Amino acid sequence: MVRHFLDVTDVTDEELNKLIDWGIEIKKNPEKYSSAMKDKTLLMIFAKPSLRTRLSFEVGMTQMGGHGIYYDISTSPMGKKESIPDTARTAERYCDIVMARLFEHKDIVEYAENSKIPVINALTNYSHPCQIVCDLQIIKEKKGKLNGLKLAYLGDSNNNVTHSLMHGCSKVGMNISVGCPEGEEYSPQKKVVEETEKIAEKNNCKVEIVHNSKEAVKDADVVYTDSWMSYHIDPAKKEERINKLMPFQVNSELMKFAKPDAIFMNCLPALRGYEQTAEVIDGPQSIVFDQAENRLHAQKAIMLFLLGKIK
């Protein structure tokens, strides 16, 4: 049966740990995989902008001897003159694997339901699973383990990256503390909180949502933040959101509440002076560009896994 990767929960805990270790191995020995995707084509559908996702997937295919097709949705009939199922049933006749960055999560689910080739979620409004495999890989590389660590996520938490981090951390036994303003608009979806609390209980770790930034960051090994203005947020909301989210900005004062050897992460793109200060993102604890690099290695592992080329 075809495997898709629409959410971190599409893989078992064991598979997630394997993906992380494969990413580490592929990064060390890229030449071993230089023809692993020979004659394979990845279709890359984008409805939103991207730097990292677009480059890392396309370069990943090139480095493994395959090809990536960048397909800007504004030049596609999909969703306008052509249905999602018809697009999927056509693309599978040419391509071997698909990744899509769409707005609504239900659209990627519909695409996958109609696709005989693997579909990868390259970010929807709801989740960003590829990002989190890369993030867990870099945390494991920097800290030597995942189990038992504490990650503090600060800021906008009704957010794709937050949801996938909650799933990812609980699946690998990491504690996650989310610090965000009160209210539905800024908090993780209830469904994700309930799901991840169950996973965390099974894996002996904790998921907590708090509304105080210092409490969230206390003794954290990793401090993580994301944009306050995700691609799908109405630009007219900017001022209101800045006012609400500023108490959750990651700055040097806040970093003092984390462990002294804590690392700072942001999936990028980042705006200095908003979700974090320049001092933090450009400072010695920041690993954001090592983190960005791992998109390349982790996604190679995801694609090889879905095509059954690593087991």
By a kind-dependent CB cut-off of 5 to 8 A, residue 308 interacts, out of ligand NVA, ligand CP, none, with: none
| 294 contributes a contact to ligand NVA by CB under 6 A | no
Residue 89 Cβ vs ligand CP, minimum distance, rounded to whole Å: 27
Q: Which x/- pattern, by CB under 6 A, does the window 91-130 give for ligand NVA?
A: --------------------------------x-------
Binding range to ligand NVA, per CB under 6 A, among 39-47, 155-163, 192-200, 207-215: 155-163
Pick the closer one to ligand NVA by CB: 267 or 304: 267
Q: Which x/- pattern, by CB under 6 A, does the window 229-268 give for ligand CP?
A: --------------------------------------xx
Pick the closer one to ligand NVA by CB: 17 or 159: 159
| 161 contributes a contact to ligand NVA by CB under 6 A | yes
CA angle 181, 147, 280 (to 5 degrees): 45
| 135 contributes a contact to ligand NVA by CB under 6 A | no
| 231 contributes a contact to ligand NVA by CB under 6 A | yes
Residues interacting with ligand NVA, by CB under 6 A? Answer: 123, 159-161, 226-227, 230-231, 267
